[in-house]
Amino acid sequence: MFKKFAVLFYSIFVLNLVSAQHGEAAAGTAPGQELSEKDKTSKENKEFIDHHLLDAHDFTLMVDKDGHHIGFPLPVIFYDNGIHSFMSNKEGFMHGEPTEVDGSYYKLHHEKIYKTDAAGTLTLGEDGHPTNEKPLDLSITKSVLILLLVSIFMLVLFGGMAKSYKKSVVPTGAARFLEPLIIFVRDEVAIPNIGHKYKRFMGYLLTVFFFILFLNVLGLMPFGINVTGNITMTFFLAILTYLITTFSANKDYWKHIFWMPGVPVPMKLIMLPIELLGTITKPFALMIRLFANMTAGHIVVMSLIGLIYVFKNFAAGVAFPFLTLVIYLLEVLVAFLQAYIFTMLSALFIGMAVQEHEHEHHAAH
């Protein structure tokens, strides 16, 4: 926990350092006056980091020296009095210009689609966010594309492994590398935390372990893939663990929540809301832990790279690449570690819900 907050604190510090000079200059810059080159660089770095952390309606492979994004478009699908769809490279759409679709106009603003007029007017509320009507966005965004590809990859990979074991018990191909991880999840995660009922949940634990692992590793690629740094993604992963825990729980689990045995009645009334709140804080901790660690890592790595272009001196050219390499190698470890921690905690919560309190039954007799 301390490491997580320390990394987040450092991330905020680095981001502030990157944009500090821009902020100072902007405060004292008259309207129409251009920013200095260093201030522009700081602003561009911050915008690039923000763009990397957000989901996107296109897939950018790289950005050339002129600032042009090189990649490929993705399908934009939304519902507004019917289903509408087009590719994201439709003229002006990715540049925030109003796009006509079946007589109505829509505009992309910070990767969210808003309904506008022909001029693309956005009405901002007190919080600075647009108040325009938002259609139901069902687009195949970058994160959705990666989720689909990883899902298909896992089906093919583990489906092939299952077929290979029908021919021989000796692992071949990818099974040579994956079988030790599967045995590790079974022997070191599932059995110690769940007990003899572990087989019922092995499918879920293995799926969530490799799913998070593959997404984390892809997040280290230089293509802006930040799926596990998306809180929506970690939210639904945590919800799956919560639902499995809730619907698999036995009567002993619910008894210890609603009416703890051996506890005085006044204390039971006090502990009841606390125990109920605990059932919610557990998946919340899963969600925040994965999201915060992966997001912090991306921010630190990109901020260190950005500082090279801000300071532009020999010291920065030597120190920051070295620090970036160190943090990047640490992120490789974190990619595996966070997959393990999420799986381990999920097994722990499930085990708490399905375990039998045999000592209490014997005491009752």
Q: Contact 280/286 with Cβ under 8 angstroms?
A: no
Mean pLDDT to the nearest integer, 50-55: 73
Q: Contact 227/147 with Cβ under 8 angstroms?
A: yes
Instruction: With a cut of 60, say whether residue 2 has pLDDT above it.
Output: no
pLDDT of the residue at 36:
67
- Tokens at residue 80, please? 């507004």
Q: Contact 214/153 with Cβ under 8 angstroms?
A: yes
Q: What are phi and psi of 32, to 5 degrees?
A: 90, -15
**Residue of 246, 272, 248, 247 whose CA lies nearest to 258:** 272
Higher-confidence residue: 184 or 274? 184
Could you tell me the CA-to-CA distances from 142 to 58, 102, 137, 225 in Å, in that order?
6, 25, 13, 8
**Directed axis angle between helix 251-258 and helix 314-354, to 10°?**
100
117-153 residue pLDDT tens? 888 888 888 888 888 899 999 999 988 999 999 999 9
What is the average pLDDT score of the chain? Answer: 81
State pTM to two decimals. 0.80
Count of beta carbons in the 10 Å neighbourhood of residue 89: 14
**Residue of 291, 140, 266 whose CA lies nearest to 212:** 291
pLDDT of the residue at 77:
93
Q: Which residues contact 289 (CB under 8 A, 6 or more apart)?
A: 4, 338, 341, 342, 345
pLDDT of the residue at 206:
95
**Residue of 347, 361, 350 whose CA lies nearest to 249:** 350
Count of beta carbons in the 10 Å neighbourhood of residue 272: 14
CA distance 230 to 313: 34
**Count of residues in the chain:** 365
DSSP state of 169: S
Mean pLDDT to the nearest integer, 49-58: 76
CA angle 227, 188, 293 (to 5 degrees): 30
Instruction: With a cut of 70, say whether residue 35 has pLDDT above it.
Output: no
Mean pLDDT to the nearest integer, 30-54: 66
Q: Is 346 exposed, middle or buried (0-12, 13-18, 19+ CB in 10 A)?
A: buried
Higher-confidence residue: 9 or 266? 266
330-348 residue pLDDT tens? 888 999 999 999 999 999 9
70-125 residue pLDDT tens? 788 899 999 998 899 989 888 888 888 888 888 889 998 888 899 998 888 888 88
**Residue of 46, 51, 56, 60 whose CA lies nearest to 11:** 46
CA distance 192 to 105: 57
pLDDT of the residue at 321:
85
Alpha helices in the chain (DSSP H): 2-27, 37-53, 142-167, 175-184, 191-194, 202-218, 231-248, 251-258, 265-311, 314-354, 358-364
Mean pLDDT to the nearest integer, 255-279: 79
- Tokens at residue 237, please? 């992963």
Look at the block and give the residue holding tokens 């490799």: 210
146-184 residue pLDDT tens? 999 999 999 999 988 888 888 877 777 778 888 999 999
**Residue of 211, 222, 223, 232 whose CA lies nearest to 335:** 211
